[in-house]
Each structure stands twice: as structure tokens, then as C-alpha cells.
Amino acid sequence: MSDSPDNSGLPPWDQGEEDEAKPSAAELEAAGQNAMFGDSEPVAAPARVAEEAAPAPVAPAPVPLAANQPYRVLARKYRPQTFSELIGQEPMVRTLSNAIARDRLAHAFLMTGVRGVGKTSTARLIAKALNCVGPDGEGGPTINPCGVCEPCKAIAEGRHIDVIEMDAASHTGVDDVREIIEAVRYSAVSARYKIYIIDEVHMLSRNAFNALLKTLEEPPAHVKFLFATTEVDKLPVTVLSRTQRFDLRRIPSELLASHFAHICELEGVTAEDEAIALVAAAAEGSVRDGLSILDQAIAHADMDSGEGETKVTAAKVQSMLGLADRGARRRLFEHLLKGEAPEMLSAVDGQYALGVEPLALIRSLMEFTHKIALAQVAGGESDAPIADEREAVSDWAGRLSPGQVHRLWQLLLKGHEEVARAPDPLVAAQMALLRVLHAADMPDPGKLARQLQDMAASGSGVGSPSAGAPAGGAAAAPVASAQAAGIEWSELVDRVDASGALIAAATMRDWVRVISLAPGELIYQLADGISDDPSREIREALVKATGASWRVERGEGQGAPSLTEQAEAEAAAEQARVRAHPLVRATLEAFPEAEFVEDTEAPRGHQQWSQRG
């Protein structure tokens, strides 16, 4: 017994006389709702059946709901009932149509794609196409199921005994799959095929997949498997190889907008084209997401006309989706490009006060940058859904060069990473945007190279190398006598160093200014900064290095610079020569605070090896 007013209490095989007055799908659903939620005014079953015995027409207009029946959301109300109503999946429909026409039906189908593109709806449509018998009860599998025969209506209402739907998210184990394996041995009760629709099939456990493999590979002829999943990468390869896979694509925004406009007409709702475009853009290719947003937009819409007409406006949709702040973000982007730091920081604080997260703020600026780049590629035309935004993006695309846009993207991308990791996202966002603002005045590398080349070409005068030379021009004159005698002071110091007298060699290199140098005789001066007389240590080191006696004395007169002083003077002269080059001078003019930095590290891969032993 049942408390439903439509239940006659008779088993199916004893209802032959009542087949002529069989309730429609809307009546069955209303009866189920009454059974669950109650009916304030129950009506006798025979009278109701007699009153509404006429069959429902194909593709009926939306039927007004009873006062006691809850509202059905648009995503359920307008679920596709035929393949012609399934939008955006023409390649899959063509493949299935050819397979049915040529009697080449696979035993397992896999539908994959993002949310809301019709995976489960496609599985139900395939079940209807395979089990449809036509209005006369004599038809076969067809890509255009009639929708009026008993199998079509039962499958549409989810009550067909031979079409079993299983949610793999709540039936993940081997026991659930074992029930399927046991049931596939039995033929279909009333349909042509026994069909198993497993939604979110990737949620099955590994053992459940392994248990299903044999049956999936060689199922009985009367069994078809239809799988649906959003994460096809989680399915084992052994399952993928046993199924015929269909990748359902995202629906283009233009097609979504046309579909939503048609639904608004069926619902008796007036909607602006720009409002429909905003809903389609927010859907991101998902029909279900778009219908949910449209449902919310209709509920959020104005009812200003005297007749209570519902009108969905672009302003209301922007407010509902949080897009009303995009104007403020466009102003923030403009401050960023113009280098207006105080206004930019004030705009960031204003957005943060309204509840906009710093990371979302950086992401919106990156979105603007991306739209500018696409507009530049498209010749200045933007595809933004809002007219004000299209105008702003087109203006920015004309003002900025492609190099500036790409550099702006890199800076914002770096800022996005920093904000995501920062302990204080607001401070990180402010610093990142200030860096972008200050970097806007700097030329890109290619432009800087061209500027340097132009400056080098215009300034042909090269500075005198003597500008960095030491003041004492005659400092090297005292070594002439040593060179004439065939004795090189630097070689003599190296021989002392090689003999092991390291302290004496360092003193000779850093502090000794040679006045005269001859075989066995050294007259020198000491550089400023040393007070001790190293003559004795130098003499012993020379004797050890050369094997001859030496006379080492401090003398009077002009001595040559020490070896260290000579090296420093050469380095200064080289730096002066580099600074006098036109390209370097142009670089220093472009970057006044630039400094020369010497790389004192040894090249990578070069190591100092010592041999001992």
C-alpha cells in the first residue's frame, strides 16, 4: 500500500484495463512529490486518471506547476531529452549516429569532460536511443528516440528496471561491483539492453576496478556500460582500453548565450543581451553552471513593470556576480599604468575594505593584461562582455607596446607568487604593485640596447686614456738600468717565492721600490707604511734563490713603483679606458647610480690543484 493518490494498489500484470488511463510523467512526478511532502487536498485516483488520460506531446512547453509542488531549478527542468537538445557536442552525436546506423555499437562508453557539459545526460540519452521502440512499439535503436514509448518515458523518469544508475562516489567497493557482476548474467526484463550508468566512475577503488575488468571486457550481448567522469586521468589504463571514449568539450560562450536566451523566452523572462553575455562568460563553458547563474539572476531581477514582468539587466547581473567592482579595478589598472602611486595605493585599500582578497586583485589585473595582449593580436578588438571594459581594453591595447604588455605580465605573475606565499598578503600586494609602477618608467632591454647604440653613434669622441693614469709619469724610469743589465725584478721575486721564502717575496712585491738593480746588488726604497728594515731578510732570500752573494741596501733617489703599485695603476688605467668607451658612457648616463663590479671568483670548473707527496 502507498499513501500516493495515484497508486491503484494493483500489481503491473493486473492493470490491463487501466493501461488506457496510464498517468503521464508530470502526474507521476507530482504524485511522488505529494507522497513525500504531503497534499493538502487529496484527490481520488480514478477521477484524476480519467481527467488527464491524454498522452503528453513531444517536447512540451513548460507546464505550470501546482501550488503545492516545489520549484524545479532550470538545470533540471531543461535537461536535454533528445540529442538535438544537447548543445556543443556535435562530433560525439555524429559518431553515435553512425554507429547506430551501421550496427557497430560498442559494449562500453566513457564520457569525460568538465562539470556541466552533459556527461550524465548523454549517458541517459544513449540508454533511450538503444532501448527506444518507437510510438508503434516496433522500432529499433535510433539516434532520435521518440520520447513517447514506454522505455523512453521510464528512462526519462528514472524508473526503468533495466537502466541502473550507480553513483560511484557512494558505491566504491568490491561488494558494489560484485552485485553488478552477478546481475549481468540475467537478461533484460522489458528492454532491449540492460544498461549500467556509473557516474563519477573514477571514485571506484582499485580492487573494484580489477573486479570489473573481466566483465567489462567480455560482457553479455544484452549489457551496455556507460561511464561518466570528470577526472579521466584517475582511471586505470586497463579500463580505458576496454571503453569507447568521448571527450565532451566546453560549450562556447556564444552558443551558451543563445541557449540561455531561448530558455528566458520559454520562462517568460525579459533579459538584456549584455546580461545574457555576462552569464555565459561566468559559466566558463558549463551549461549547468550557466543555468544555475541564470536561475539566480532571474530571482535577483527587477519586477518594475505594472504587469509584474521579470527583467534581467546587465547592472543587476554585474552586482550579483561581484562584477560591479571591475570598474574600480580598471581605475586601479589605469593608476598603475600612469605611475600614480598614491592613487594606486588608495584604490588597493578601497578594494581590500570591500572584501576583495589581495590575491584576487592581482589575478584581476593579470586578466586585464591578458585581454590587452589578445586585443593587440586581434588588431585592437576586445571580446570583453561589458561595453566599458571593451572600450578600456581597446584603448590600452593601442597605448602599450607588446613588449610592455609582456613585461607587465611577468611582473604581475611574480607578484602573484609572492602574494600567495606572503604572511601578509595585503602588504605583499602593495609592494608588488609598487614594483610594477616603478618598472613602468624603465626601458625594456631591446629599447635600451637601441638607445645605447644611438648614443654611441652620436658621441664619437673617446676619452683620453691618460685620465686614469697615475700622476707620476716617470715612475718606471728607474727600472731601465735593470732591464739593460738583463735582470727582471718580477722574475727575481718569483724565484724567491718559488724557493720558499714567502714572507720575503711578499715584502719584495708589496713594499720594495727598486732604485738600481744589478747582478749581486740591490739598491731600493721602501713604500710608505712600513718602518722595519727588511734588508737582511731580502739578502738571505736572494742568496737562497740565486746561489750567489748579494749586497742589499736602502738608498736615496727616485725608485720605481713596487710590483703591487704597478698592478693597481694598470687596473686603474684599464678601468678609465673602459669608462671612456662611448657605449659605457651612454650606459652610465642612462643609469647614473650604476657601479663597476669585478668578478673575482674563478670560472666554474677551474680548480687549483696541488701535488704533494
51 falls in which pLDDT band (50, 70, 90)?
Answer: very low
Tell me the per-residue pLDDT of 280-301, one tens digit each, with 9 for 90 and over. 988 888 999 999 999 998 888 7
Read off the pLDDT of each residue in 566-591 and give the average, rounded to a whole number.
82
Reference 513, options 521, 522, 500; nearest CA is 522
16 has a pLDDT exceeding 60: no
Burial zone of 52 (CB within 10 Å; 0-12 exposed, 13-18 middle, 19+ buried): middle
Residue for cell digits 561589458?
386
Distance, in Å, from the CA atom of 316 to the CA atom of 293, rounded to the nearest integer, reads 12
Q: Please, are residues 513 and 560 in contact by the beta-carbon 8 Å criterion?
A: yes
Reduced to 3 states, what is the DSSP secondary structure of residue 523?
Answer: strand
Read off the pLDDT of each residue in 95-118 and give the average, rounded to a whole number.
91
Please give the single-letter amino acid code of residue 73.
Answer: V
380 falls in which pLDDT band (50, 70, 90)?
Answer: low
Mean pLDDT of the chain: 78
Q: Which residue has the higher pLDDT, 453 or 308?
A: 453
What pLDDT score was predicted for residue 503? 85
Reduced to 3 states, what is the DSSP secondary structure of residue 251?
Answer: coil
* DSSP strand pairing (108-112 vs 244-247): parallel
37 has a pLDDT exceeding 60: no
Element (H, E) at 345: helix 341-353
Runs of H (alpha helix) within 132-241: 150-156, 174-183, 206-217, 237-240
> Which three cell numbers, joined as nine digits, stand for 552?
742589499
Q: Which residues contact 385 (CB under 8 A, 6 or more apart)?
A: 274, 277, 278, 280, 281
Tell me the per-residue pLDDT of 237-272, one tens digit each, with 9 for 90 and over. 999 999 999 999 999 988 999 999 999 998 888 888
DSSP code for 551 = E
Q: Which residue has the higher pLDDT, 585 or 324?
A: 585
18 falls in which pLDDT band (50, 70, 90)?
Answer: very low
Reference 294, options 268, 322, 317; nearest CA is 317
Q: CA dihedral defined by 338, 344, 350, 352, rounded to 10 degrees?
A: 120
What pLDDT score was predicted for residue 339? 86
Distance, in Å, from the CA atom of 363 to the CA atom of 172, rounded to the nearest integer, reads 38
What pLDDT score was predicted for residue 421? 92
Number of neighbours of residue 245 by Cβ within 10 angstroms: 15
Tell me the per-residue pLDDT of 401-438, one tens digit each, with 9 for 90 and over. 888 888 899 999 999 999 999 999 999 999 999 998 88
Tell me the per-residue pLDDT of 163-195, one tens digit each, with 9 for 90 and over. 999 999 898 899 999 999 999 999 999 899 999
- What's 98-127 look like in SS3? HHHHCCCCCCEEEEECCCCCCHHHHHHHHH
Q: Please, are residues 290 and 402 in contact by the beta-carbon 8 Å criterion?
A: no
Q: Which residues contact 443 (CB under 8 A, 6 or more apart)?
A: 451
Reference 363, options 424, 416, 326; nearest CA is 416
Q: Please, are residues 21 and 49 in contact by the beta-carbon 8 Å criterion?
A: yes
Please give the single-letter amino acid code of residue 74.
Answer: L
Q: Please, are residues 495 and 546 in contact by the beta-carbon 8 Å criterion?
A: yes
566 falls in which pLDDT band (50, 70, 90)?
Answer: confident
What pLDDT score was predicted for residue 303? 61
Q: Which residue has the higher pLDDT, 3 or 83?
A: 83
528 has a pLDDT exceeding 60: yes
Element (H, E) at 199: strand 194-199
Reduced to 3 states, what is the DSSP secondary structure of residue 402?
Answer: helix
What pLDDT score was predicted for residue 94? 92
Per DSSP (E only), the strands in 252-340 are 270-271, 311-312
Read off the pLDDT of each residue in 501-530 and give the average, rounded to a whole number.
84
274 falls in which pLDDT band (50, 70, 90)?
Answer: confident
Reduced to 3 states, what is the DSSP secondary structure of residue 493?
Answer: helix
Distance, in Å, from the CA atom of 360 to the CA atom of 184, rounded to the nearest integer, reads 51
Tell me the per-residue pLDDT of 113-164, one tens digit each, with 9 for 90 and over. 998 898 999 999 999 999 999 898 888 899 999 889 999 999 988 899 999 9
Distance, in Å, from the CA atom of 316 to the CA atom of 272, rounded to the nearest integer, reads 11
Q: What are phi and psi for residue 312, nearest 5 degrees?
A: -95, 115
